[in-house]
Amino acid sequence: MDCSLVRTLVRRYCAGEENWVDSRTIYVGHREPPPGAEAYIPQRHPDNRIVSSKYTFWNFIPKNLFEQFRRIANFYFLIIFLVQLIIDTPTSPVTSGLPLFFVITVTAIKQGYEDWLRHKADNAMNQCPVHFIQHGKLVRKQSRKLRVGDIVMVKEDETFPCDLIFLSSSRGDGTCHVTTASLDGESSHKTHYAVQDTKGFHTEEDIDGLHATIECEQPQPDLYKFVGRINVYNDQNDPVVRPLGSENLLLRGATLKNTEKIFGVAIYTGMETKMALNYQSKSQKRSAVEKSMNVFLIVYLCILISKALINTILKYVWQSEPFRDEPWYNQKTESERQRNLFLRAFTDFLAFMVLFNYIIPVSMYVTVEMQKFLGSYFITWDEEMFDEDTGEGPLVNTSDLNEELGQVEYIFTDKTGTLTENNMEFKECCIEGHVYVPHAVCNGQVLPGTFGIDMIDSSPGAGTREREELFFRALCLCHTIQVKDDDDVDGPRKSPDSGKSCVYISSSPDEVALVEGVQRLGFTYLRLKDNYMEILNRENDVERFELLEILSFDSVRRRMSVIVKSATGEIYLFCKGADSSIFPRVIEGKVDQIRARVERNAVEGLRTLCVAYKRLVPEEYEGVCALLQAAKVALQDRERKLAEAYEQVEKDLILLGATAVEDRLQEKAADTIEALQKAGIKVWVLTGDKMETAAATCYACKLFRRNTQLLELTTKKIEEQSLHDVLFELSKTVLRHSGSLTRDNFSGLSADMQDYGLIIDGAALSLIMKPREDGSCGNYRELFLEICRNCSAVLCCRMAPLQKAQIVKLIKLSKEHPITLAIGDGANDVSMILEAHVGIGVIGKEGRQAARNSDYAVPKFKHLKKMLLVHGHFYYIRISELVQYFFYKNVCFIFPQFLYQFFCGFSQQTLYDTAYLTLYNISFTSLPILLYSLMEQHVSIDTLRRDPSLYRDIAKNALLRWRVFIYWTFLGVFDALVFFFGAYFMFENTTVTSNGQIFGNWTFGTLVFTVMVFTVTLKLALDTHYWTWINHFVIWGSLLFYVVFSLLWGGIIWPFLNYQRMYYVFIQMLSSGPAWLLIILLITVSLLPDVLKKVLCRQLWPSATERVQTKSQCLSVEQSTIFMLSQTSSSLSF
């Protein structure tokens, strides 16, 4: 047994802590703790090598083959190939082995090349030089040789070689600035803080003398979470214990900025760094087309087994008559006569399986992979989806879901930063009932036409002035903004009322807007220096406040607080947050007036925040400090303990006022939602904002219309009635009009029916999802889903990130199993993006967590329209034709072989030559369908954009339904019957060549094969609507290649072949006039039913797409006629 496992078990069950969690102890600089402090237990950790590669030189072949043969199609063909090798089969093993070898080799080369590039990148990363402290000196070595506990020095613009705890920096305040663009895409500078007790160590000797141990959690991939504590040993016996959080952690891959150098101790190295743990791929999503394809494959496998079984039975029935089994020219040996009947039957069954196995198209998988991979570039190359403001274009993180973009039925969208710009503009603030409107300030720019401070209400009295200034101070102090004075940092902008260049940087645009807005009202936030926050008041005096504690914002509390001490020694707690989280904690203040103003602003679509405070006496602060410190240094359940501590601290507040910030709607967001609704897609908005603000945004972006009747399923409604009564009342309301809803079930855009919009909040959703006392929750969920189905739009407000994912999952797993799409721009949207069938990230201002975790990323919400209605539509049309066509052409290929067995005594004689069997799917018919699946446009791009309702024609996997699949299969069977019996009847008349020779069986097979290749290729040509020179080249070039190949194959005696049965066959066939006539006749007869079916359907039951096609054809004919007439008239006048 592994010793480390024993140690782990002993520590887990013998440790003093009741709720023990995995943690590690790191000895800073590998220095043992002082005697008597704690036991020194050396721990083994991986080195700093990064291994992103999948294979090594030694395991590439076995590992790659194992992975490839895990695919059921490859494994199936391997079995067929082995059967051909083991038993006497009618076809050469080459016919199965060569296509399989081609597929496996091409895939292996592609994967091998990609892995070689990964090896190359790994080596470059692992060999880069790193500076670390050894015996008080700076030593340089390769990155891969770093160990946990080493003290590392990193200079400006260098990337951190591993995950480090920040010990000290060249900056006096013990801070450093980093960018994490390579981790989460955020280009803004983030501030990290050194450990309080080590930030004064600025030299190598000082750092080398540090005596400390770090206890922290085991590696986990969350970039924004870290729990640990550091024990610093000084001269005293008891160590100083300091909490460690994500603000003290410098991540591998991040870059040091605006700081000369820093010292840090390595805590996670190599594959245990957070960057490496995030290499792990997301769970694999499979499209509806892929699922249909697998079902069709199972059907064809059943057909294959049935064919083999029928032929085996008929063979023994036919041979049961005397002498049929043993003709005079082929007498059996004694051993053959003695052979077991069942063994012979099983061998024959396997031989027939081999003979008919080509009905399962191995090359279809390769073609589909190539189509998806190459097709994905059409999104990244789309110039219309490029945003010039941000310099960003669309990203494709996976090509497996291209066609799923054409099947979306539900869209779940975030509001802030997705529907809106996340470009905040400070509009007003309300203090003690008085409203203040400053200059309109947006991102540091003073908007034109705005002057001075507009006091909407009467000026406050002297008693209120103190509260007013306290409110402004609260906004200046209660935030996590960093001030940059460097002109070159993140696009500097002039700070109002300041002669110098000043940039406010924060992860939240709201905070920047509030600080910039209050600057116009006379209070300017200057800087955080040596743990003192400095602000400039109206009298141009600098006020200094000591920052004691920050109670960070989180999406559950929906508020943040700071505890500061003024120059006079007064201690304040300032708190700002959502009204729903502030009002319940307020015991004093003009609550009613402020609440009324907040609700009014929310109805206008403004984002509101409330501000409150309380004074703390020193004794009270000491209790708060002890409570927070105990929670901060906890290694287990730290988040829960901090939440409980915050809950106790943030109470009994005095309300000061509220702010209103506008987040403008994104360009063309309303047009995009309107188009998506016309396309039959239901749009849901999932947001953490309050109901009134979100509802106003929904009206602005046309999700709700003037005639939309809003239905509320909110906490307020449930307090008045029970959940059961509210649900049944809503259900009764919407189902009253269900007759009219069924006519336009998706979009709710019909003028003659009642539109319903549902608003639900997070608390109400929790009640719906919560299991009832009898253990069931299905009834409420089903009722809720029934209401949602009959609403044209749904708004979910006050949603936590996890609840967003719950909503998506609820719809995804409902009985209709609709295809869902989630789109968002922030880290709080990642859970729903991963949950939905298709996840789309908006490359916005909240970092790139959403874009990194999504399947696709777009710069703006408006690009979703083209991505779905154009790209998604084309992808689905193309791949559905590809799948159906592959099965069709393989039925055409194999069914004549099945029929031929009835005329050759079920002897397993092949109808086609080995070369034709091998190259049919690889060469003769592969390129035309690949090009079709990449370039086909059944209607123009402008038409799809102009008429979103065409999207409905392909909804619910319309082109891969059983009816369509059966039609293609029967069309293949019909064509195969025409090929075979058409050629058979010609041969029945003992057709001879000009020299009197009679055609043989290889000529018969070649004739059938020739008609088949031309028919299936011309069938694709008839289905093609969008012709380019490439289509012409590939389609006619494929037919020409077949003819040239056949002439060469049959025109030369090939020395490497042990047979010459095809010599002169093709040339002899073409020298016969009846053969030429028959080829033309059979091709025409084969294509005729499909042409007739299309003509009749277009005339009698045209789809919306077919009506548009007919209209565009008529228009083009009309335009060409007018042009010809104008040319004629001009020539006559001349």
Task: Answer yes or no: are the C-beta atoms of 248 and 166 closer than 8 Å.
Answer: yes
Does the annotation count 414 as an active-site position?
yes
Tokens 């998604």 appear where? Answer: 872
Tokens of 468: 């007013």
* Rounded CA separation 220/272 (Å): 8
Q: How far is CA 291 from the centre of its chain?
A: 19
Q: Give the Å distances, CA to CA, from 167 to 146, 151, 220, 480, 940.
A: 17, 9, 22, 21, 61
Question: In which element (H, E) is residue 642 found?
Answer: helix 638-649
In 406-542, alpha helices (H): 462-477, 509-520
In 235-287, alpha helices (H): 274-277
Which amino acid is it at 820? T
DSSP state string for 623-639? HHHHHHHHHHT-SSSHH
Strand spans (E) along 269-322: none
CB half-sphere exposure, 625, CA atoms < 13 A: 13
Who's near 1109: CB < 8 A, 6+ residues apart?
A: 938, 939, 1025
Strand partners, 447: none
β-bridge pairing 441-442 and 175-180 = unpaired
- Please give, one letter per residue, the 3-state secondary structure of 488-525: CCCCCCECCCCCCECEEECCCHHHHHHHHHHHHCCCEE
Task: Answer yes or no: are the C-beta atoms of 560 and 553 closer than 8 Å.
Answer: yes
- Please give, one letter per residue, the 3-state secondary structure of 951-977: HHHHHHHHHHCHHHHHHHHHHHHHHHH
Length of the chain, in residues: 1134
* Rounded CA separation 1050/1042 (Å): 12
Exposure string of 26-65, with b = 16+ CB inside 10 Å and e = fewer, is bbbbebebeeeeeeeeeeebbebbbeebbbeeeebeeebe
β-bridge pairing 410-413 and 820-824 = parallel
Contacts of 107-115 with CB under 8 Å at 24 or more apart are 107/68, 107/366, 108/64, 108/65, 108/68, 111/54, 111/64, 112/55, 112/60, 112/64, 115/53, 115/54, 115/55, 115/60
* Rounded CA separation 861/823 (Å): 8
Residue 84: CB atoms within 10 Å: 22
CA angle 889, 893, 898 (to 5 degrees): 135
* Rounded CA separation 609/512 (Å): 14
- Please give, one letter per residue, the 3-state secondary structure of 865-929: HHHHHHHHHHHHHHHHHHHHHHHHHHHHHHHHHHHHHHHCCCCCCCCCCHHHHHHHHHHHCHHHH
Q: Which of 184, 348, 400, 414 is catalytic?
A: 414
* Rounded CA separation 1116/837 (Å): 39
Task: Answer yes or no: are the C-beta atoms of 979 and 1082 closer than 8 Å.
Answer: yes
Helix axis angle, 591-603 to 691-700, nearest 10°: 20
β-bridge pairing 434-437 and 420-431 = antiparallel
Question: In which element (H, E) is residue 226 found?
Answer: none
Task: Answer yes or no: are the C-beta atoms of 894 and 300 closer than 8 Å.
Answer: no
Active site residue ranges: 414
